[in-house]
Structure 1
């Protein structure tokens, strides 16, 4: 079977996920590993959460104009979060506006997954490309970044199959 969220991972790992999914055990394993639901449920709480993380790890990064959950992002679009940079001329100055939007499905996800996606989007304030420096910054903000990214992909695979 094809699992689009697991593309690029070793076949043996994908087969293990597929076997757990087929046996009905994948959801239980994920619930045992991540029992806590995300406590950040409102746009205001998300703004405070992201702002606190930005202040802790990226004090000199450009300010964020907007941080919110977005219903338009999700599985169908293939985008779980976006980081928008818009520049416009205002008077004689060039103004830059940064926004972070997180897919609303993260309200139902474990809090660890929100932490991972926030680290990812904040890293884009410093590094635009997914390069070595970008992933180093992600791991600085979220030490288990790579494991959480994989587990998020497994969770999305399970969620889509249900």
Structure 2
């Protein structure tokens, strides 16, 4: 069915949802497409007409997305608030790939010629680095509140930068590694504060401010630029 939507937009994809009660459009910033979400029993002609009404909106959203940033040699990426240049050193005599994060350089020594394979190695390294930093930060903030975290998971989430479950499990997007420190710190503080207040009332925001470096700056940055974090690693 998605190929039948291409005349409306090459960026449009169909998603049939049993839970959807009405038609909607959802932007996927990672895949750089817009999903036409329709209920399971929706009329497809009506669905296509619905999408046609938003044809220009779809293109505007796609055009507004930042250009993809690949993990290639010479590319500069932001890590924890500072710009870091990726430097790939190819050496066929090496037995394995090693990656080292220095103050301004991400040094990759590898015997791999395939660019995608090297990029995947870099992504795995950055995910581990994000997990290490975010987990330590969450535990430190929770300790200040006298709270213990059941588990901290760091994944490639699409809809939320962070979440707090009722059982005390916290989850974060590894892509927060590309955000300024104030933004990353805010997201972690936000979810840790939910260990005390599972709402967004005044007491919650006061607590969030207390355990965050600069929660207003971080919150504003995530609101205005959070979508840019999905552009890295393509």
TM-score range (shorter-chain normalised) is 0.5 to 0.7
* CA spacing shift, 1:36–1:137, aligned 2, 3 Å: farther
Give the structure with the larger strand fraction: 2
Q: 2:186 corresponds to which residue?
A: 116
Give 1:142's aligned residue.
212
Aligned partners of 2:194 and 2:204 also within 8 Å: yes
Question: What does the per-residue CA deviation read over 1:62-90, in whole Å, with 9 as the maximum and x for residues that have no partner?
Answer: x212112122x22xx2x11011123xxxx
Out of 146, 171, 175, the position equivalent to 1:101 is 171
Structure 2: 5+ residue stretches without partners: 1-26, 28-63, 67-77, 85-125
Counterpart residue number, 2:20 = none
Deviation at 1:108, TM superposition (A): 2.1
Q: Deviation digits for residues 36-80 of structure 1, max 9, x if unmatched?
A: 67x98242443222112221x212x3x212112122x22xx2x11
Partner of 2:221: 151
Change (3 A) 1:144 1:43: closer
Q: Which has the higher helix share?
A: 1
TM-score, normalised via structure 2 length: 0.42
Partner residue, 1:133: 203
Deviation at 1:161, TM superposition (A): 8.6
Partner of 1:69: 154
Secondary structure (helix, strand or coil) at the match of 1:41 reads helix
SS of 2:179's partner is: coil
**CA-atom RMSD, angstroms?**
3.1
- Pick the structure with greater CA Rg: 2
Gaps in structure 1 of 5+ consecutive residues: 5-21, 25-30, 87-97
TM-score, structure 1 as length reference: 0.58
Distance 1:36 1:134, change over 3 A: farther
Higher relative contact order (CA 8 A, sep 6+): 1
Moved over 4 A (4+): 157-162
What is aligned with 2:163? 82
